[in-house]
A and B are shown apart, each in its own frame.
Chain A
Amino acid sequence: MSMIQVDGLKKSFGSEDALRGITFNVERGEIFGLLGPSGSGKTTTIKIMTGEFKPSGGDVHVNSYSYKQFSKNDYVSSLGILSDKSSLYDRLTVKDNLELFRKLYNAPKGSVEKVLRDVGLESEIDKTVSKLSKGMKQRILLCKAVIHRPAILFLDEPTSALDPTTTEKIHDMLEELRNDGTTILLTTHNMDEATRLCDNVAFLYQGVIQDSGAPVDLRHKYKRDEVHITYTDGTVKTVERTAKNKQLLDNVLFNSEVADVRTDFPTLGEVFKKVTGKELV
């Protein structure tokens, strides 16, 4: 059985349909990305899985629990949650903040020190949170989400507005968690993040999954067999990659007038635009 099974999930707010029957599965130890612009239904999907919202239709199973059991303590204890709205107690130290959640989740003593070592922030343990940088706070929030070693981690825009160095550190930590068997569902606008981290992604737009699959498979699916040749004088020539043009393309490599050769293998962002007609912003 998949770790997350979503079947025809619907959610309406009054007359507005936020989700119109989405279906996807996430396997144990997989990083799954829900990609879509703001208002596409990503956060609503996560909020249903964390028990904050009740679905209007369809079915959801997470870690063998039906959505009707999402308020159960065992279920809540198996989750880790980090959203762009997650925050810490600014007046308290890093240790005070993490100790609170260690006790709430009944995690073993020493978990605080261990998780801080994992993110390289053990030297900040006695610092007041208000004195930390934004990137450090985000890493502490991730520590808070994983202090009890959850089976499933929900991440809603985990690296939005963070600098590349912090983003890199968070990505490394997420890869380690996946290697340890944690199932991760993340939402993001960042296509590089999705391409690097996700085993599978789903394009969510206007409450509907427009397409899904492994990032590399989606890029292959939507690629065009074209080669763009840029010459030193600035002219660009697009040639179809067919047997008929083999001689021309072979010669390109030896042509000193050629400045750049690029195949039409789209990025995930370009695939999203092809599928939905919208930029992923």
Chain B
Amino acid sequence: MNMTRMMAIFEKDLKEFMKNMMLFTSVLIPVLMAVFFSRVGVGAGAEGEMPPEILGILAGVVFSAVIFSSVMTMIAEENEKDTLRGLLQSPATIIDIILGKSMVVTLMTIISLVASIMIIGPENYWTLENIISLVLTGLFFLNMGIGLGLVVKSVATTSVYIIPIMFIFGFTPYIEMLITDPDSIAIKIAEYFPIYQHMFVLEGNGGAMEFIILAAWVAVSFLLVLWAFNKRKNDE
């Protein structure tokens, strides 16, 4: 890993991000959703406080639309246009390249999340526990984006992954709208998904178990990254 090279890739990717309408608008989607939720008062309680489900969905949208889909699209575009080969033929390593891109999407994710939360303005959101749960959830989505980005060969193919990942992992709490029986096995399974752990922490019901489950998801997603690295190496 070389800091100069990583920063050169960060600088290049930041410029590309700002000039790519598809990526740039992904940062605005959660902000617009936050404006919508705050105006119509979706699910607001008696004291006007936004419930954790809405905040959880908002975080899910930020992570799936910004960090996951952006990093996957950026890597897929480099694959499609063969610019990734140019980078790999230079002294930059794949680690420099991935970290440079990750820094850009992380920055954009932070901007999108902070702006969205500021619009809604919930109390006691930025607690240490919640920040840790956000970091772990973000790492999970980042790893998923990197892993799948290394596998897909074109930007068009990314939509095959973006939609299911977004619905399964980003919008998990919506399952309660589809299945009303709280004892349903589907709900029980969904409650082990990352966004639910984040919501439990946000509700103040989080204990060590929620963080262990989140860490397990991060570990699984990291295995996906390792598998994708090896697959790519063997394909070449």
Interface residues of A (CB under 8 A from B): 50, 52, 73, 76-77, 79, 81, 85-92, 96, 99-101, 103-106, 144
Given known contacts A87-B83, A87-B86, A144-B86, is B12 in contact with A76 (CB within 8 Å)? no
B120 nearest CB across to chain A (Å): 33
Report whether A92 and B5 are in contact in the complex, using a CB–CB cutoff of 8 Å: no
CB nearest to A90 among chain B residues: B81
Q: Which of A92, A99, A105 contacts B91 (CB 8 A)?
A: A105
- Assembly CA distance A103 to B87 (angstroms): 12
- Assembly CA distance A106 to B20 (angstroms): 27
- Assembly CA distance A103 to B96 (angstroms): 13
Flag whether B152 is at the interface (Cβ < 8 A): no
Flag whether B82 is at the interface (Cβ < 8 A): yes
Flag whether B132 is at the interface (Cβ < 8 A): no
Report whether A103 and B4 are in contact in the complex, using a CB–CB cutoff of 8 Å: yes
Q: Which of A50, A87, A90, A104 contacts B82 (CB 8 A)?
A: A87
Q: Which residues of B contact A85 (CB under 8 A)?
A: 82, 85
B67 nearest CB across to chain A (Å): 21
- Assembly CA distance A79 to B83 (angstroms): 17
Q: Which residues of B contact A87 (CB under 8 A)?
A: 81-83, 86
Q: Which residues of B contact A91 (CB under 8 A)?
A: 15-16, 19-20
Given known contacts A52-B236, A91-B19, is B89 in contact with A81 (CB within 8 Å)? yes
CB nearest to B19 among chain A residues: A91
CB nearest to A47 among chain B residues: B236
Q: Which residues of B contact A92 (CB under 8 A)?
A: 12, 15-16, 19
Contact size class for B? 20 to 34
23 of the cross-chain contacts (CB-CB < 8 Å) are A50-B89, A76-B89, A76-B91, A79-B89, A85-B85, A86-B85, A87-B81, A87-B82, A87-B83, A87-B86, A88-B83, A89-B12, A89-B83, A90-B81, A92-B12, A96-B15, A100-B9, A101-B90, A103-B5, A104-B5, A104-B87, A106-B91, A144-B86
Q: Which residues of A contact B19 (CB under 8 A)?
A: 91-92
Flag whether B111 is at the interface (Cβ < 8 A): no
A108 nearest CB across to chain B (Å): 13
Q: Which of A86, A88, A104, A144 contacts B92 (CB 8 A)?
A: A104
Q: Which residues of A contact B86 (CB under 8 A)?
A: 86-87, 144
A280 nearest CB across to chain B (Å): 26
Using A81-B89, A100-B8, A106-B91 as known contacts, list a sample of 9 further A-B pairs with CB atoms less than 8 Å apart, ordered by residue number in A: A76-B90, A85-B85, A87-B81, A91-B20, A100-B12, A103-B8, A104-B8, A104-B87, A104-B92
B153 nearest CB across to chain A (Å): 14
- Assembly CA distance A88 to B83 (angstroms): 6
A111 nearest CB across to chain B (Å): 14
- Assembly CA distance A90 to B80 (angstroms): 13
- Assembly CA distance A79 to B81 (angstroms): 22
- Assembly CA distance A52 to B19 (angstroms): 31
- Assembly CA distance A103 to B5 (angstroms): 7
Q: Which residues of B contact A106 (CB under 8 A)?
A: 4, 91
Which among B4, B9, B82, B83 has the greatest number of chain A C-beta atoms within 10 A?
Answer: B83
A153 nearest CB across to chain B (Å): 12
- Assembly CA distance A105 to B89 (angstroms): 11
Q: Which residues of A contact B87 (CB under 8 A)?
A: 104
- Assembly CA distance A52 to B232 (angstroms): 12
CB nearest to B12 among chain A residues: A100
- Assembly CA distance A52 to B90 (angstroms): 12
- Assembly CA distance A182 to B135 (angstroms): 49
Q: Which residues of A contact B11 (CB under 8 A)?
A: 100
- Assembly CA distance A174 to B148 (angstroms): 40
B162 nearest CB across to chain A (Å): 21
- Assembly CA distance A101 to B91 (angstroms): 9
